[in-house]
Every structure is written in C-alpha cells, then in structure tokens.
Structure 1
Amino acid sequence: MTPTLTLRNPADLAAAVPYLLGFHPADSLVVVGLRDATVAVVQRWDLDADALGLAAAITEVLGRAPVEAVLLAAYGELAAVGPVLERVRDRLPVPLLAAVRVTGDRCFCASCEQCTPPDGFPFDAAASPVPAEATVAGLTALPDRDSLRAQVAPVTGPAARTMSRAVDRAGRRLTRLIQRAWDNGVRDGVPAIRAAGFLAVDAALAAGRRGVRLTDEQIAWLTLLLQSLPVRDRAWESTDHEAWQLSLWTDVTRRADPELAAPPATLLAFAAWRDGNGPLAGVALDRALAADEDYSLAALIRDAMLRGLPGSTLGRWPNQRDLSQRDLSIRRGRFPEPDAGA
C-alpha cells in the first residue's frame, strides 16, 4: 500500500520531506514532483552550486519526468536559499503548488508573502502530525545523508583486509578455472566462467532466502564472477524486492572489494527501487558508479528514477546475450590469463 501523508500547511511539508528522502537534509533544495496527487519524483540538490545552473539542471529533470505539479522545500540560510528558490520558481515547467524555506528553527512560506509573518514562525517537526503518520506508514528519516550512505559503505579495517585476501584467492581460482578450460580445448574459458557464475549466484540467493550470511570466500568468488554481464544478469532476473534480497545485496555490497562493487551495488539499487525505497537505491547507485562510472545498468536505473518511473518499469528483462569475451570485465592486471602456450 502506498503511504499517505496529509500536508496541511508549510510546516507539514517541511516535516514530510525528510521521510520522503530517508534522511534530514541540510543546505539543500528538495524538489517533490507529483503525478495524480502521488509523489513521483523526490530529488535533493546541494545549495552550494550556481543558482542559475542549478535551476537549469532541476528544470531539465522535471522536463523529462512525468509530473503534473511540484512542491519545493529549501533548508538553509536565506542568502543561500533565496537566489536558488527564485531561479527555480521562474523556470519550473509545471505548476508550483507550494514552497517552504526552513532556516534554523524558523519556517517560511516561500511561494507567497501572506502565509507566514516576515520572521516566519517557530518550526518543530516533532510538533507536526506528519512524523507520526510517516512512522506508521513504515517511513523513516535518518539524521543526515551520511547516515544513509553508511548503510552501503564499504567495510574497513580487518574486515576489508580479510576480503582483499579472499579476492586474491578467488582470482587464483578463476585463473585455474580458465586454465582447465584451455587445457580442454576451450580457448576463451567463457562457458566455464558462465557456469561457475550461475552456480555462485544460485547458491547466494538460496543462502539469502534462508537467512544464511555468505562467507568471505563466497562473496569474493561471487563478486568476481558478477563482473561478467551474463552472470550479473542471472542475478538481476532473480532479484525483486523481498526483504531477504535487500539484506543479501546490502551485505554483499558492503563487504565487496571496492573495485568489484559496481554489480552488487547495482543489484541492491534495483531491489531497493523495486521496493519503493528511493533513498537506499540512490546511495547504492552512488556506490556502484563510484566503483565504475560507466556501469550502464546503474546509469539506466538512475535515469529511470530521475524520470519518476516506478520500480516495476524494468520488470525482469535483463539483456540476455550470447556470452562473448567482451562480456568478461575481469581485472586482467590483477588476475593473469592462462599461459598462452597452454
């Protein structure tokens, strides 16, 4: 069921935005696009950008998204918020229903001059009924964006060093797998990689369904083989929005070697998007694109989210293709190919 929040005044809008984002924003402009009275797009923008450039970027996003009206909520000092709000209001391609500015503990209506006094009115989100409605609806608001990013941040310290060693062992295992294929006359080793990858994906999904946490060896082997697109697609076509899938891909994303994080982070983003959890999907996509800025599936999902498309849009249609050598995006420098003379 789609959560329902009732907005009665500017303060309710300001109190609702953190629950739509998943965290409490600061020095930000939040754009809420509506379609059929339902939230279709929620985008947060930093206020440290050039006002005119930021207005142009927001206008471009809204022009591509199927929205009928917009709500704006700005958080920060008037000197930073005012120019951006003015530019954005002037360039909106759809009607503006309401705009609010929160500065410190004061709230202002930013769409007219009659709703609030010149110095605004005291703002206490806890005094609004919106947080209670949001909590009942299953929505949460973390203290800040860093708290949300921490949910997908890579492990550090001993856990990271242990995983790095596991990946080295997985790399040697992969080399042996390819070598055996060469010894058997299969010169590219790709069918063997595909078969091993399918087994690793199926085993990971089975463990996740049972609530069993993967070992470091399993994650190292899985994330290495997920670099092959058909193996990644095997996982993609089996990923939906069940809670265990979110838990599985969150754990794999966090523990993955940073260089191998793009596929599992993208699968996490897909699962979160399908679940309607846009904030988690957004930070997972950040993690994926930080690992590989050209990772096409992550870019595809991000573009769909920016357009306000629902998570059901992609369905289960990964790009099934015959596996070719270019599909195997393994880090060749770290994991040597078999002896060419074998």
Structure 2
Amino acid sequence: MTRTDPARLTVRSPADLIAAVPYLLGFHPADSVVVVALQGRRIVFAARADLPGPGDDPLDPAVHLAGVIARQGAESATVLGYGDASGVTPAVDAVRDSLTAAGLAVLDVLRVTGGRYWSYLCDDPACCPPDGTPYDTGTSEVSAAAVFAGQVALPDRAALTAQVAPFGGPARVAMRHAVDRAERKLDALITAAGEADLLGGRALRRAGIDAVRGALRGSRRGERLTDDEVAWLTLLLTHLPVRDHAWERTDGRDRDIALWTDVLRRAERDLIAAPGSLLAFACWRAGQGALAAVALERVLEAHPNYSLGLLLDDLLRRGVPPSQLDGWPANRPPGVLRRRRRRRDP
C-alpha cells in the first residue's frame, strides 16, 4: 500500500489510470487486484493484494482492501484486476461489493492483461468492445510525466524485493569477519565499563549514540560506512535505547532511506531487525509503502517477534497515513498501534 507521491499525474481515461498505477505502487503489478482511491478528482492512495489462489476466499483481501481505502478519507475508488478473467473476476467483484458496503462510490472496475483492458461496468460495445480496448503505456503522457517527476516503476515486485536483498559473495564474507571484530570490541567495552555500570548499559548507550550520529553525519555527506562501521552499528542497535535513538532521528529523507538500505543489505541475518525496521519506517514516512513492506518481510521472516517490526507491519497493513503521526515516534500517542502478525501485501 502506498500514499501517492506529491507529483501530480493527470488521469483522464482508463488508459491513463493503467499507466499511472505502476508509479503509484512503485512496480508493475501482475496477478493482482489494485484499488486506486480518490478524494474528488485527486488520487490519494493506492493499495494492492495478490489475486486469491485456488480455494482461497476472495472476500479476505476484499474486506481488507476496502477497510484500508475507507481509512484514507476517500470518496470513490476504481478497482483494477491484473490477470486472466478466471482469477480476476471473483476478486474484483468481491472488492467492489466491499467498497460499496464501506460507503465508497466505485467509478469503474477494470481487468488488465496483454496490453488490453475490459470494463466490468460498461457493456456498450462502442466504447468497451468485447475483445478489450488496447492501451500503450509507453506512449502515455502520464508515464512521461511520472518519469519527469522522478517517480520509478520497477518491472515487478521481485525487482523491488531485490533492492533490500542481502549482498553475497566476498562482501558477505568480509562482513562476517567485521562482525567478529565488532563482537570482540563490544566484549572489551562491557568489560571496561566497571561494576557501577550494570552490564555496561551506559557505555553501550554512549557508544551507540556516537555510532548512530556518525552514520547520519556520513550519510549527509554522501559517505558510505565501512564494513567495520556497519558491523559495530548493527551490534549496538540490538540495544533498545540505541535503536530508539536512531528511530527518533530517522524520517522519510532520501539519505535516511539510502543509509538504512545499505546497512540492511550488508548486515548479518541475526542483526537485520533494527536496520530493516528503521528502513521500513523511513520508507513509510516517505510514502514508499511497497519498499517498506519488502523490508519488513525480511525482518519478520528472520525475527518474527521483533516488536518494532510488528508495529510497523500493523501501520502498513492498516494503511495509516504518515501525516496522522507527524512527530512520531518521539511524540508517539499511546495505544495508536495494535500488534498484528500478518500483513496483506502492498
């Protein structure tokens, strides 16, 4: 799910909307049902779910999507299904019914595949021929405007997932050695802390704050952390006061996203929970819900009970707009989130 980018995309036809969807999501959808929500004539939100598989109840994603869209303050929506009619039709029918039940006007319901689209709400062969209406996103003014505005549409969701995938080969071996060195450094720090500093808590916090500040300063200058710096930072981020210090200083800035993406991709698997969650938070703040979701998938696959990952997972799953929580987490309203294990795909 993603709140739309501030760039204005003028949509005048179904073909324009189809051209806009990949830029609203961040990738070209396939075997998906997508809901585009509007306030008046302005697109405010887009959400996606996989088409239900054989034996799945199409009502499950439909009710979820309708609830998310309704929470955006939307007035109307268009539903698009990507794939064969056998998979798309029951899914979009269920979504349309759920949106209507939630009080939203459904402007159109489209099936998109093979360079053509069909409307479920129009039976006039003059404008909606039985063999579908061809479209070409490559020549669309909407696509050109999105690219000019700096928006990106990756080929598919796998390409999005690759953006947060771990580095392998020599880079992974080098990081293992760096973590070994960082662990020895951490042991020495705790040993030197003294009896008055229980378990080295104060020393860990001081070292963590220094590491976070150093990473953020380097990021502002366009510098990349060394392997030793990444290893040391990720170890210290396992200390919750350090993690929270980094969290309070992370927003939706490009440099925050770049920093935590790099740290997540280089971190050892047992140390990805904090940097992956910080990346997800930065992406959510920037309106990049799809990238936030794939970062959280990595976190929760490796650390299914990580509290910050679960809370952010709930934010995305419920489609909470970032604007509703400005100043968060430093001014986090109590009880604003509910922990949930599973998230629908954006």
Structure 1-normalised TM-score? 0.86
Paired letter, 1:66: G
Deviation at 1:297, TM superposition (A): 2.7
Does the 8 A contact of 1:65 with 1:307 survive in 2? no
- Confirm or deny that 1:206 pairs with 2:213: no
Moved more, 52-61 or 152-161: 52-61
Structure 2 Cα separation of the partners of residues 22 and 62 of structure 1: 18
Q: Establish whether residue 228 from structure 1 lines up as the match of residue 239 from structure 2.
A: yes
What is the aligned counterpart of 1:8 among 2, 8, 12? Answer: 12
Select the residue among 80, 83, 98 that pairs with 1:73. Answer: 80
Compared CA separation, residues 312 and 226, structure 1 to 2 (3 A) = farther
- Aligned counterpart for 1:291 among listed residues 278, 302, 305: 302
- Structure 1: any 5+ residue segments left out of the alignment? 322-342
Residues 119 and 128 in structure 2, CA contact (< 8 A), matched pair in contact too? yes
Q: Distance in 2 between the 1:315 and 1:210 partners?
A: 26
Which residue is 2:149 aligned to? Answer: 137
**Which digits, 9 at most, give the CA deviation of each residue in 1:278-331, with x for residues without a partner?**
33222222223233223333333343344444334433443699xxxxxxxxxx
Matches within 5 A, 1:30-49: 30-35=34-39, 37-49=41-53
Determine which of 253, 273, 276 is the counterpart of 1:265.
276
Query: Using the alignment, how far apart are the partners of 1:143 and 1:290 within structure 2?
Result: 24
1:218 to 229, 232, 235: 229
1:147 aligns with 2:159: yes
**Segment of structure 1 superposing worse, 15-24 or 285-294:** 285-294
In structure 2, what is the equivalent of residue 327 of structure 1? Answer: none
TM norm structure 2: 0.85
Number of residue pairs matched? 320
Alignment of 1:1-342 (within 5 A): 2-35=6-39, 37-49=41-53, 50=56, 51-92=58-99, 93=102, 94-114=104-124, 115-181=127-193, 183-318=194-329
Residue 45 of structure 1 aligns with an amino acid whose one-letter code is: A
**Residues in 2 aligned to 1:140 and 1:290: alpha-carbon distance in whole angstroms:** 27
Measure, in 2, the Cα distance between the counterparts of 1:70 and 1:33: 4
| Cα distance in structure 1, aligned partners of 2:46 and 2:25 | 7
Distance 1:214 1:280 in 2: 22
Query: 1:119 Cα deviation (Å)?
Result: 1.1
- After superposition, give the CA deviation of every residue in 1:77-116 in whole Å (9 maximum; x if it has no partner): 1111111111211221122122221121221123332341
Tell me, in whole angstroms, the C-alpha distance in 2 between the residues paired with 1:301 and 1:239: 14
Q: Provide closer, same or farther for how the CA distance between residues 290 and 66 of structure 1 changes in structure 2, counting only shifts above 3 A.
A: farther
Percent identity over the alignment?
50
Tell me by how many angstroms 1:20 deviates. Answer: 0.5
Report how far residue 127 of structure 1 moved. 3.1
Moved over 6 A (4+): none
Deviation at 1:63, TM superposition (A): 4.6
More moved, 105-114 vs 305-314: 305-314
Name the counterpart of 1:326: none
SS at 2:203 equivalent: helix
* Cα RMSD, aligned residues only: 2.2
Show structure 2 runs of 5+ residues with no match: 333-346
Distance 1:38 1:269, change over 3 A: farther
Partner SS state of residue 325, structure 2: coil
Residue range with higher mean Cα deviation, 50-59 or 127-136: 50-59
